[in-house]
């Protein structure tokens, strides 16, 4: 057994025990994942940098909110980043309040304009390759409008994963929700209900805007193949939660989670 395989298996086992302990001890309680003061309990992983290295001070807390900013960058340079919460979860409701501000970083891709996301059922940050762009995960895509065109938020994207919708395996990378468009710098609330491998539902303004189930790793790519071997299968029943940095400044003023009974 090679070293990289041992490394992945070790982190897979760590995820299982962490998820179990977190949910057993906090079932039925709303947990404030963000304490409003600092990034205690969060781990940055930015492309081309090691887990724990917050390149360019990308993630910081100012005025009681998590700010994702790029004033420390000369150019974005495809340094896609993610801020991981320390614990893993499988059955929960996640609620975030977010908004987009300012101008996109120089060199950011056009599709990343007012674009961020919630990465769910994700791999551990330490298992990501140095140059890996996104964690294998289920992404609830957060998008802001440009002031005139329609652009839904709470969409689904699937980096190194697939899902099932209406009984059919969906392999396309992104699927639009039924949400309305949110223009400007207004605060928006997104809520996601996650029940292991059984169902994921996205809510905006109390309405279900997207629903799917059976999240699973993509076995056609090397990253998915390695994680399938480490996890003992492709199906995802839990994992990490992370917030994205994709080149447009954004803020999160609330990140809270309600553990649900299995």
The string of pLDDT tens digits covering residues 110-159 is 999 999 999 999 999 999 999 999 999 999 999 999 999 999 999 999 99
- Which DSSP state fits 127? G
What's residue 64's pLDDT? 97
Structurally, the chain folds into a number of domains equal to: 1
Nearest to 171 by CA among 162, 181, 179: 162
> What average pLDDT is seen over the chain?
92
Rounded to whole angstroms, the Cα distance separating 262 from 241 reads 18
Burial of 77 (0-12, 13-18, 19+ CB in 10 A): middle
Q: What one-character-per-residue DSSP string does 149-186 give?
A: S--B-SEEE-TTEEEEETTEEE-SSEE--S--B--TT-
What's residue 191's pLDDT? 98
What's residue 9's pLDDT? 41
Rounded to whole angstroms, the Cα distance separating 94 from 245 reads 19
Rounded to whole angstroms, the Cα distance separating 18 from 203 reads 27
Gyration radius (Cα) of the chain, Å: 17
What's residue 26's pLDDT? 61
Nearest to 6 by CA among 226, 222, 225, 216: 226
Rounded to whole angstroms, the Cα distance separating 125 from 51 reads 6
What's residue 29's pLDDT? 80
Q: Looking at residues 187-193, what average pLDDT do you find?
A: 98
| Statement: the pTM of the whole predicted model exceeds 0.95 | no
Nearest to 211 by CA among 256, 156, 171, 258: 156
Neighbours of 18 (CB within 10 A): 17
Q: What are phi and psi of 168, to 5 degrees?
A: -120, 140
- 51-84 pLDDT, tens digit each: 999 999 999 999 999 999 999 999 999 999 999 9
Burial of 154 (0-12, 13-18, 19+ CB in 10 A): buried
Q: Are 113 and 248 in contact (CB under 8 A)?
A: yes
- 28-40 pLDDT, tens digit each: 789 999 999 999 9
- Position 27 confidence tier, pLDDT thresholds 50, 70, 90: low
More confident residue, 58 or 11: 58
Q: What is the CATH classification number for the domain harbouring 88?
A: 2.60.120.560
Question: Tokens at residue 80, please?
Answer: 């896609």
Domain that holds residue 38: 3-259
């Amino acid at each position: 057994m090679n070293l990289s395989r041992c490394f992945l298996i070790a982190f897979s086992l760590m995820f299982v025990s962490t998820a179990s302990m977190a949910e057993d001890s906090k079932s039925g309680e709303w947990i404030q994942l963000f304490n409003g003061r600092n990034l205690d309990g969060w781990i940055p992983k930015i492309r081309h940098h090691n887990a724990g290295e917050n390149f360019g001070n990308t993630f910081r807390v100012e005025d009681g909110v998590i700010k994702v900013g790029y004033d420390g960058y000369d150019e974005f340079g495809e340094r896609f980043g993610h801020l991981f919460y320390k614990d893993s979860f499988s059955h929960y409701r996640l609620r975030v309040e977010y908004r987009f501000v300012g101008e996109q970083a120089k060199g950011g891709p056009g599709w990343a304009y007012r674009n961020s996301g919630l990465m769910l059922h994700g791999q551990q940050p330490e298992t990501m390759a140095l140059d890996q762009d996104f964690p294998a995960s289920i992404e609830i895509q957060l998008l802001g409008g440009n002031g005139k065109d329609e652009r839904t938020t709470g969409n689904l994207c699937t980096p190194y994963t697939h899902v099932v919708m209406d009984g059919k395996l969906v392999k396309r990378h992104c699927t639009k929700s039924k949400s309305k468009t949110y223009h400007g710098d207004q605060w928006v609330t997104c809520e996601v209900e996650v029940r292991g491998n059984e169902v994921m539902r996205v809510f905006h303004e109390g309405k279900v805007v997207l629903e799917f189930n059976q999240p699973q790793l993509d076995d056609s790519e090397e990253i998915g193949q390695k994680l399938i071997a480490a996890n003992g299968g492709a199906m995802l029943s839990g994992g990490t939660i992370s917030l994205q940095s994709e080149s447009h400044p954004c803020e999160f003023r609330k990140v809270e989670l309600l553990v649900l009974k299995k």
